[in-house]
Structure 1
Amino acid sequence: MTNDDVLAEFRGAGALREGHFVLSSGLHSPVFLQKNLVFMDTTRCERLCKALAAKIIAQVGKVDVAISPAVGGIIPGYETARHLGVRSLYVERDGGEFKLRRGFTVEPGEKVVMVEDIVTTGLSSRECIAAIKAAGGEVVAAACIVDRSGGRADVGVPLIALATLDVPAYPADALPPELAAIPVQDPGSRRLKA
């Protein structure tokens, strides 16, 4: 599956949006990938995750388990794990840190692929990988549907992306004038109030 094929899936789902958006990282961007519109379509999600699983196998071989960060990584993590034929676990925040909970465990030395939805800065991926390592897993790679950093995100292990885009993202105090002139939208969930 090529970058264009992946983008066609997002466009087909109405999930490739343009405007002025605050990303979960807090950065601002003229492009937002509304991934949930893609993942709610089981056929579309299966195509993407099956292709990601094939790419993981081609690059790192067999793994023992796929682990994702909650909440955004759970669906692509599960579907990718299904195509890898391995368990699907996820980490979630507990006291502000990612941890395996709900009876999830990894055996020491198990080969883990960390599966994420979209990578921008790599922060969530790095935090997830740290939690997996703390639990005894050996993270052989990280994988995502879209790396929107243009390949610049450093997650601390090899990053396997189904598609790589170079989408600009800016701190709030360094917006280009054309982006600052557009009303901002905050479609993510990280800053929702309880």
Structure 2
Amino acid sequence: MDRTVELLKKSNALLEGHFLLSSGRHSRKYIQCAKLIENPVYCEEIAKIIAKKIKEAGIKVDLCVGPAMGGIIIAYEVARALGVNAIFTERVDNIMTLRRGFEIKKDMNVIIVEDVITTGKSSFETVDVIEKEGANTVALTSIVNRSGLDQIRGLKLISATEIQINSFDPDNLPDDLKDTPAVKPGSRK
């Protein structure tokens, strides 16, 4: 078994039920990476897996940026494994923003570090912030890649593991989900 999946299971981060995803779609499964991240030993191990894959891909990194909330801690740990700084972006009035005195210098090579990448929405909100500062986003990274893709909009995806989870349009739910109230565990409003 994949070590990342093993740690997700050990930390009870793989949930089953009826979930309303940030995309508006519904799912029987949800990956709550916060349960894995709460264990510093597991988080450090996963970050080292991601950092190793970044190095193997030959990607030069000057800075790690984690979109709040899910990317903050894992971005810090990946940055530590790579020997670079970590900062985070956060939403202000639902717009991803750079705050708290954080700086992204022009021409820096920046990776975005997420807990889970599905559509890349939060990642690309952060790409916009990075580009506005004149820096280069060189890869999207995550604990889990749910997208089923190797890249999104030309940016390479590097993840500790890939997990495919079926999702459903709200107008076309399977019968078993129609009668079960949906839980919305994500952070996006």
TM > 0.5: yes
Unaligned runs of 5+ in 1: none
* Percent identity between the two aligned chains: 39
Supply the distance in 1 between the matched residues of 2:168 and 2:139 (Cα, whole angstroms): 27
Aligned CA distance change for structure 1 residues 94 and 184 (closer, same or farther; 3 Å): closer
Match of residue 185 from structure 1: 183
Match of residue 125 from structure 1: 123
> What's the CA shift for 1:182?
3.1
Unaligned runs of 5+ in 2: none
Out of 84, 88, 91, the position equivalent to 2:89 is: 91
For the 8 Å contact 2:130–2:137, the answer to whether it is kept is: yes
Larger mean CA deviation between 163-172 and 63-72 belongs to 163-172
Aligned CA distance change for structure 1 residues 31 and 52 (closer, same or farther; 3 Å): same
* Residue 187 of structure 2 corresponds to residue 171 of structure 1: no
Equivalences for 1:31-180 in 2 at 5 Å? 31-151=29-149, 154-180=152-178
Larger mean CA deviation between 129-138 and 165-174 belongs to 165-174
Supply the distance in 1 between the matched residues of 2:25 and 2:153 (Cα, whole angstroms): 18
For the 8 Å contact 1:149–1:167, the answer to whether it is kept is: no
- RMSD value over aligned CA atoms? 1.7
Larger mean CA deviation between 174-183 and 31-40 belongs to 174-183
* Residue 24 of structure 2 corresponds to residue 26 of structure 1: yes
3-state SS of paired residue (2:171): helix
Runs of 4+ in 1 over 3 A off after TM superposition: none
* Aligned residue type for 1:51: I
3-state SS of paired residue (1:158): strand
TM-score, reference length from structure 1: 0.90
Supply the distance in 2 between the matched residues of 1:136 and 1:65 (Cα, whole angstroms): 13
Supply the distance in 2 between the matched residues of 1:145 and 1:69 (Cα, whole angstroms): 13
> What's the CA shift for 1:156?
4.3
